[in-house]
Amino acid sequence: MRKFWFTYMAKAVVVMPGGFGTLDEFFELMTLIQTLKMKKRPPIVLFGSEFWSKVMDLEALANFGTIDRQDLDLFLRTDSVDEAFEHITTELTATAMTDTGPSL
CATH number at residue 58: 3.40.50.450
Q: Cβ distance 103 to 38 under 8 Å?
A: no
Task: Specify if 104 maps to a domain.
Answer: no
Task: Specify if 60 maps to a domain.
Answer: yes
Q: How far, in Å, CA of 56 to CA of 27, rounded? A: 11
Range of the domain at 62: 2-98
Q: How far, in Å, CA of 46 to CA of 77, rounded? A: 5
Domain count, the chain: 1
Q: Cβ distance 33 to 99 under 8 Å?
A: no
Task: Specify if 6 maps to a domain.
Answer: yes
pTM of the model: 0.85
What residues are paired with 45 via a beta bridge? 14, 76
Task: Specify if 82 maps to a domain.
Answer: yes
Task: Specify if 10 maps to a domain.
Answer: yes
Task: Specify if 81 maps to a domain.
Answer: yes
Task: Specify if 53 maps to a domain.
Answer: yes
Q: What is the mean pLDDT of residues 45-59?
A: 95
Q: What percent of the chain has pLDDT over 90?
A: 70
pLDDT in tens, 4-34: 777 778 899 999 999 999 999 999 999 988 8
Q: How far, in Å, CA of 45 to CA of 81, rounded? A: 10
pLDDT of 79 strictly over 60:
yes
pLDDT tier, 58 (very low <50, low <70, confident <90, very high otherwise): very high
